[in-house]
Structure 1
Amino acid sequence: MEIRFSGSGGQGLLLSARILAAALTEAGLTVAQSNAYEPVSRGGLSRSDLVIGEGEADYPLARRLDVLLILDEAAATVSTGLLTPASLVLCDAERVTTPPQGPFRTLCLPFTETARTLGNPRVTNIVALGALTAQASICPPEQLLAAIVAQTPARFERLNREAFAAGLAMGATEPA
């Protein structure tokens, strides 16, 4: 399975990928992670790819995406060439105004709006991770929640739990 987290710098994309990679590794899968970002701390194009398998990866870079998460318009069309008819594209409904078009499945969900209602738009990435988990059935939600708690500061545990639960609920309301 190949997953890409994409958007702009400062959105926690690399953290989200690292959290998912930790949960999948804990489940006994092999995960290769690669990152690419523009040399600015906030606002530049950013992405993180996970190539997931049961054995050693034959090629550690994403070539055909099963899941694409887009959190910013800057990344809306960058990955279209890696999508297949079986791909799932999840977009932030507020920050991605022109989602990729094609024979793949696209869902635009209110990640940023939901994070804002929880009191902190910085957990948009965790909301999105919850929705991705519900839609793509990559690993059990409780396993991913444990990785979130382990990989983020303890002072944000309650907020991250709420954000993840909101994302799971959001993803579960959409047909898979």
Structure 2
Amino acid sequence: MAATRFEVRFGGTGGQGLLLSGKMLADALASEGKNVAQSQTYEPTSRGGFCNADLVIANGEVDYPLPISFDCLVLLDQLAIKPSWSRTKPNALVIADNRNCPELPAGDYPCHHLPLSRTAIELGSERVTNIVALGALLELSGICKRASIERVLRASSPRSFLDLNLDALAAGYALAAPVAAAAS
């Protein structure tokens, strides 16, 4: 992470586990000694309304806890594009589910349409799309060590979901690995 302030948004709809992904990433980053401010927005509907989890990550003190312009945008639903796009930096890393976000606005950014939800379904549950996306984000951005996120995942997953969550995280890393290798 070269910048002293780095902003990430997980955007989608309620029920996709975005807040959980944001919290797990914040916990993993904090365990590495980074300062993190976490916030979220969601519509009053429990499922289907716009939802996002935002992180402001800093090597030093977080001077302002809310995001200003995103360095990374993870989109799990088309509904999240409009409220997020205008706050995305030029050349920001954009990761989008190719099934739920088939079209993105034109722009100068590296966009990676990945089969996030399809991969989760193949693993046995669409409910782990957020964890697949988290693995892809970490592989492509390098903002957090894999061991750190795995520790948090093990500590915060219900026992009945632990193996599925670990498989989903590994699948996200594997989806993004060829893209990351091509970029380096």
TM range (shorter): over 0.9
Q: How far apart, CA to CA, are the structure 2 residues paired with 1:173 and 1:130?
A: 13
Partner of 1:48: 53
Unaligned ranges ≥5, structure 2: 1-5
Instruction: Give the 4+ runs in structure 1 shifted more than 2 A.
Output: none
Match of 2:17 in 1: 12
One of 120, 124, 141 as aligned partner of 1:136: 141
Structure 1 residue 125, shift from structure 2 partner: 0.3
**TM-score scaled by length of structure 2:** 0.93
1:45 partner letter: F
1:15-52 per-residue CA deviation (whole Å, 9 max, x = no partner) reads: 00000000000000110001100001100000011000
Describe the SS at the equivalent of 2:74: strand
Q: Does 1:71 align with 2:79?
A: no
Query: Cα offset for 1:151?
Result: 1.7
Q: Output aligned runs, 1:18-167, within 5 Å.
A: 18-167=23-172
CA distance in 2: counterparts of 1:44 and 1:112, whole angstroms: 18
Assess if the C-alpha contact under 8 Å between 1:83 and 1:104 holds in 2.
no
Structure 1 residue aligned with 2:3: none
Q: Is the 8 A contact 1:86 1:104 kept in 2?
A: yes
How far apart are the structure 2 equivalents of 1:99 and 1:86?
14
Select between 16-25 and 152-161 the one with higher mean Cα deviation.
152-161
Whole-Å separation in 1 of the counterparts to 2:165 and 2:102 = 26
Q: TM-score, normalised by structure 1?
A: 0.97
1:100 shift after superposition: 3.2
How many pairs were matched up? Answer: 176
CA contact (8 A) 1:77 1:100 kept: no
C-alpha distance after superposition, 1:135-167 (max 9, x if no partner): 000111121111111122121111011100000
Shift of 1:117: 0.4
